[in-house]
A and B are shown apart, each in its own frame.
Chain A
């Protein structure tokens, strides 16, 4: 099974900050990497698919990069609605594992 490790597990930042979250896979799989945002009590929302493609309707301040085993999610200028938990997920093979999550909190 492919293990996904996110860092950091939590992060405090301010509105307007640039934030980067990283995700490392235990084995290489090209760009089968997706990022989701989840707010309390809500279902996850797809932000980025195929490592760097922006899902329709997602603001352009979100971007993704990486290939192989190392991936990043960047938020260029944090907005109040961006404080949430973020998960990476590999869709290369079953089980389609998620990272443990990164909780983004207001500083």
Chain B
């Protein structure tokens, strides 16, 4: 079964760090573009970051220089390292696969992991 399972969310103080993981099964992370999307409580979807199969990475301006997307091919897992966290980073974080044959649509999503930044 093709699926994504996120983990690593939790409560962190402002200025702190957290690393989210997204374990994939049923497909190979390194052969696909992979992305992170977040949703603040009661708000809409906000794209966060993407990593291409070739390794190029891109970020939303709101997280640039604070967040880092990466992957571990041996573990078939995607990561999001989040540093210098702010209250406005509080959200459910979803990882998703970018379908290769669908004009870049996000076809497989994880269940989400909640990150709360608060003192």
Q: Which residues of A contact B (CB under 8 A)?
A: 1, 31-34, 36, 38, 43-46, 49-51, 53, 55, 87, 89, 91-92, 94-101
Contacts and interface: CB of A to CB of B under 8 A. Distances in A.
Given A45-B109, A101-B45, A96 B50 contact: yes
Nearest to A29: B103
Given A49-B99, A96-B50, A87 B106 contact: no
A101 B58 CA distance: 23
- List the 7 closest A-B pairs by CB distance, nearest first: A91-B104, A49-B105, A94-B58, A49-B102, A43-B109, A50-B103, A34-B105
B111 interface: yes
Contacts of B45: 36, 38, 44, 87, 89, 98, 101
Interface residues of B, number: 24
Q: Secondary structure at chain A's binding surface: helix, strand, loop or mixed?
A: loop
B1 interface: no
Given A32-B103, A94-B58, A96-B104, A44 B46 contact: no
Contacts of B14: none
Nearest to A100: B44
Nearest to A32: B103
Contacts of A98: 37, 44-47
B112 A50 contact: no
Max chain B CB contacts within 10 Å: which of A31, A34, A51, A97?
A34
